Amino acid sequence: MRIVVPAGGIGGARFLRGLKAALGIDAPTTGNQSTDSPITVIGNTGDDITLFGLRICPDLDTVMYTLGGGINEEQGWGRADESFTVKEELVAYGMRPTWFGLGDRDTATHIVRAQMLAAGYPLSAVTEALCDRWKPGVRLLPMTDDQVETHVVVEDEEGRRAIHFQEWWIRHRAALPAEQIVSVGAESAKPAPGVLAAIAEADAVILPPSNPVVSVGSVLGVPGIRDALVDKTVVGVSPIIGGAPVRGMADACLAAIGVETSAAAVAEHLGSDLLDGWLVDEADTGIEVEGIEVRSRPLYMSDPAATEAIARAAVDLAVELSEGRA
Ligand code: GDP
Ligand code: CA
C-alpha cells in the first residue's frame, strides 16, 4: 500500500513514526530506502528562512531527524546531544537575529545544504542527499523546489507590517495578533519533482495532525497539489481536540484566517472535496461534517503505541473508504 503524507514538523514527524510502525517499516540498515518506501512525505517548506547565509528548512529537518533517530526528543526539533558554541560566537559578533537557535551539530546539516544549493542543486536533491545519512525510511520530498515563504501581517507600535512566520512564531510566540497569513511565492511555485507522480501512484493520502494553516495549508497552496489530492482517498487526523490545539499555537493561525478552533471547523476548512474521512478525538464524539466520514477515537500521541494505533486507524479508514469508492 502506497501512502502520501503532506506534513509539517513536530506533529507530522511524530505521526509518521507511528505510521512507519503501523506499516512495519524498520529502520533501513543499508542503502537509501527513501526511494522504495511505501510512504512518501510531502514536506512543508513554507517555514523555511535564510539566516546567517544558511537556508533553514525546519519541517524537512524535523521529519528527517525524528525518523532518522537524531532528534532532540524533549524539544521535538533540533539535534539530540546538541551544543550552541556557534550561536554564542555569532552573538559575540553582534549577529542578528538572536532568537533562532541553530545548534552546532545542526549547523553542519546547514553547511551541507548551503554548499549544495550554491552549487546549483535543487532543494529536493539536497534533501535526498541529507537523507542518505539519516535513512528516515520514508521518501521525503519538499513540496516545491521554489522559494515559498509564509509571512504574517501584524500591527503593533512599530506599525502594520509583514514579518516572516518564524519571527512571529518564535520571537513573538504568536502573541502579536495576526491580521493575515500570506504564502509569498506560492502562486508561481511548482510541485517538486516526484510530488505529483507520488500522489498519482498513491493508494491513500493521510493528513497528519500538523498545523492546518501553516503546514498542511502551505502544501495545499502549491498550485497542482490540492487538485491532485482531491482525486484520492484522503483521511485526516484532527490536530484540534476539544476546541484547542494539543500543543503549540495553531489557534492563533486559525484565528488569522477566520476559522474557528474546532475539529469540525478545520475539516470544513480543508473541504469535503478533499477530505473523505476525518478522525477526531473521543472528546469530539458526535460532531458531524457534511460530506465527510467522521470517526472518533483517542488521538493523543502520548507514546509510540498510542501513535501507532492512531496511524493504523487512519490507514484502516482510508482502506474502508476507498473500497466504498471502487
Ligand atoms: P507541524 O504543524 O507538524 O509542524 O507541527 P506542530 O507541532 O507545529 O503542530 C502540530 C499540530 O498538531 C498542532 O496544531 C497541535 O494541536 C497538534 N498536535 C500536537 N500533538 C498532538 C497529538 O498528540 N494529537 C493530536 N491529535 N494533535 C496533536
Ligand atoms: Ca477526496
Instruction: Supply the residue whose CA is at minimum distance from atom 4 of ligand 1.
Output: 9
Rounded to whole angstroms, the maximal C-alpha distance in the chain is: 63
Cα distances (angstroms) measured from residue 236 to each of 21, 44, 60, 140, 209: 18, 16, 20, 19, 8
Does residue 241 carry a pLDDT above 60?
yes
- For residue range 146-203, list pLDDT tens digits in order: 999 999 999 988 899 999 999 999 999 999 999 999 999 999 999 999 999 999 999 9
- For residue range 269-286, list pLDDT tens digits in order: 999 999 999 999 999 999
Distance 274 CA to ligand 1 centre (A): 20
To test the pocket of ligand 1, the residue of 71, 210, 279 to mutate (highest count of ligand atoms within 8 Å of its CB) is 210
Return the closest-CA partner of residue 198 out of 142, 254, 250, 265. 142
What is the number of the ligand 1 atom nearest to the C-alpha of 59? 4
Amino acid occupying residue 28:
P
Average pLDDT over residues 5-22: 97
Q: What is the pLDDT of residue 326?
A: 65
Distance 115 CA to ligand 1 centre (A): 32
**What percent of the chain stands above pLDDT 90?**
92
Q: What is the pLDDT of residue 29?
A: 57
What is the number of the ligand 1 atom nearest to the C-alpha of 250? 14
Q: What is the gyration radius of the CA atoms in the chain, in angstroms? A: 19
Distance 228 CA to ligand 2 centre (A): 9
φ, ψ for residue 122, nearest 5 deg: -75, 160
- Give the other-Cβ count within 10 Å of 226's Cβ: 17
Which triple of cell numbers denotes residue 55? 537556508
Nearest 10 degrees: Cα torsion 245, 246, 250, 251: 30
Q: Do 200 and 233 form a contact (C-beta atoms < 8 A)?
A: no
Residues with CB under 6 A from ligand 1: 8-12, 59, 209-211, 215, 237-239, 241, 245-248, 250, 299-301
Cα distances (angstroms) measured from residue 291 to each of 212, 264, 268, 294: 19, 12, 9, 9
What is the number of the ligand 1 atom nearest to the C-alpha of 214? 2
Q: What is the pTM of this model?
A: 0.96
Cis peptide before 97 (omega within 30 of 0): yes
Q: What is the pLDDT of residue 247?
A: 86
Does residue 28 carry a pLDDT above 90?
no
Q: What is the pLDDT of residue 3?
A: 98
User: What domains does the chain contain, in order, with CATH numbers?
Assistant: 149-184 (no CATH), 195-325 (3.40.50.10680)
Burial class (CB in 10 A: 0-12, 13-18, 19+), 21: middle
Q: How far apart are CA 65 and CA 34, in angstroms?
A: 14
- For residue range 130-139, list pLDDT tens digits in order: 999 999 999 9
Q: Which ligand is nearest to the CA of 10?
A: 1
What is the number of the ligand 1 atom nearest to the C-alpha of 245? 16
Distance 226 CA to ligand 2 centre (A): 10
Instruction: Supply the residue whose CA is at minimum distance from atom 11 of ligand 1.
Output: 210
Q: Which ligand is nearest to the CA of 174?
A: 1
Distance 317 CA to ligand 2 centre (A): 13
- Alpha helices, H only, the chain: 10-22, 58-68, 85-92, 104-118, 123-134, 165-166, 195-201, 216-220, 225-230, 250-256, 263-270, 304-325
Does residue 83 carry a pLDDT above 70?
yes
Which triple of cell numbers denotes residue 222? 502549491
Q: Which ligand is nearest to the CA of 17?
A: 1
Q: How far apart are CA 319 and CA 311, in angstroms?
A: 12
Return the closest-CA partner of residue 311 out of 2, 17, 8. 17
Average pLDDT over residues 84-98: 95
Q: Which ligand is nearest to the CA of 7?
A: 1
Q: Which ligand is nearest to the CA of 46?
A: 1
How many angstroms separate the first and last alpha carbons of the chain? 16
Q: List the Cα angle 59/175/284 in 5-degree steps.
A: 70
To test the pocket of ligand 1, the residue of 17, 211, 282 to mutate (highest count of ligand atoms within 8 Å of its CB) is 211
Q: What is the DSSP string of 78-114?
A: SBTT---HHHHHHHHTT-S--SS---HHHHHHHHHHH
